[in-house]
Chain A
Amino acid sequence: MPPPEDSSQPRLAAGCRWGAENKTGAEQERVILFPEGAIRLQGTGRQILERCDGQRTFAQIIEELQAQFTVADPAKIRADISQFLEQLRHKRIVDY
């Protein structure tokens, strides 16, 4: 299965959704629920997935995060996001 293309519009797969905001745990932590489990997300992982709304394109998501994290190598940001989304697609949590 290929990585996302610039025009891909990543989104949460059917039956995968955000859980309620964690009130007691670490600040800024959110959880994605899926059929057999859940992943806790904070930091950049959370920021990437919150942009996977089926509207933004892969290229837009990268631009936004590159603009936000100016100290990091843009090429590395791109490669990391691509790999992250590909992994989540294999788990059937993300579609693109």
Chain B
Amino acid sequence: MIPNPLALIAEITHRCPLHCVYCSNPLELAAVASELSTNDWLNVFQQAAKLGMLHAHFTGGEPLARPDLTELIAGARTAGLYTNLITSGIGLAEPRLQALVAAGLDHIQLSFQDSQEHAANWIAGARAHAHKIELSQIIRRHKIAFTVNLVVHRQNLDHLQEMIAFIEQLNPDRMEIAHTQYYGWALKNRAALLPTREQLEKAVEIVDAAQNRLAGRIRIDSVVPDYYARYPKACMGGWGKQLLLINPAGKVLPCHAAEVIPGLEFENVRDHTLEWIWRESSSFRRFRGEEWMPEPCRSCDRRAEDFGGCRCQALLLTGDATATDPACSLAPAHHLVEAALLEANSNSNVPQPNVSQPTPASSFVQLQQKTAELWSYRTNPE
């Protein structure tokens, strides 16, 4: 039996004022002209709630780039969904936040790039840090749950302790410390982002200590980097098992990166019902269950726990979406991950920033040029 999906990830636009080097959006972003209309989305939320879904996670790009966001939040909430806004905060001042809360927004997750202003703006490719701090104070005046998200990587892990102390001052209910996952722009920039083993081990200790210290006050959720794990992550809780994602153009995907997999056709909410796509479409059936699994997954005791890992990562690293996720230590292609780790842990091979310190730049173009040898900033859709 196919279980009902639990949560909808609504990627309502790929437009974004930030250019984060670790962005997991696809390299090929959905064009503005292709975006679903307000009514298309409202219809989707009704269908999602009827399918038994509980949560709608609004993400992007930057969801605030959609002028109809308040209407979309109201529509999802009216349909019966819990509404979560995942945002950089750029474009959000108090009146709009107030409108969103009145529309039924339950939770806001604000991303930070660093605790230090220069470093944060350097990663984001935009001057955003000061505004985020101001916004945090405004958010706390409203009765919604507040999570601060921090993506960590080679360039910022060395001052994790300081970053946690910084977030603590913002007084959120939750902090999410997420190691970069290597898809989209982050994979392109992997050499500059993959931490050393030493950095990682220190980070684990720091997070553990903070969890104990802040227990009952701020909950810390931490996403560990799968490259250093023994077994792969249970990507999306299994393909077509718990979650579905709708991209700005209305394509329904089993996960953020699924479009990289060749040969799969993704259906559009403009053409089919969500229920049919979830239950019947070939893309959702392709890796559902265990039929597709190769060895060593097929006979592995952990197959019901991690489902063979991530299909997109398998494709991106091995060229074969049906391979065991190379992050798994038992995978035939694990040497690919080991090679990346070897490179990350031997100083000579890692590209060094040609700007020794993150420096402010007067324009994005200037920043792009200064860091050209280190990484590529995420661009924007047409």
Contacts and interface: CB of A to CB of B under 8 A. Distances in A.
Interface stretch (A14-22, A56-64, A71-79): A14-22
B54 A35 contact: no
A31 interface: yes
A30 interface: no
A36 B143 CA distance: 17
Contacts of A13: 145, 173
A92 B54 contact: no
B216 A31 contact: no
B144 A92 contact: no
A35 B215 contact: no
B219 A90 contact: yes
B80 A35 contact: no
Contacts, number: 57
Size category, B interface:
20 to 34
Nearest to A14: B145
Given A1-B216, A38-B54, A92-B219, A17 B80 contact: no
A19 B145 contact: no
Given A33-B106, A35-B84, A35-B147, A15 B215 contact: no
B6 to A, nearest CB: 8
Contacts of A14: 143-146, 173
Contact of A15 (B107, B216, B218): B107
Interface in B95-151: 106-107, 109, 143-147
A34 interface: yes
Nearest to B54: A38
B86 to A, nearest CB: 10
Interface residues of A, number: 20
Interface string A41-82: 000000000000000000000000000000000000000000
B59 to A, nearest CB: 13
Contacts of A36: 174, 221
B55 interface: yes
B80 A15 contact: no
A1 B217 contact: yes
Interface of A: 1, 13-17, 19-20, 31, 33-38, 86, 89-92
Interface of B: 6, 54-55, 80, 82, 84, 106-107, 109, 143-147, 173-174, 215-219, 221
7 smallest A-B Cβ distances: which pairs? A15-B145, A1-B216, A33-B82, A35-B107, A92-B219, A15-B107, A92-B173
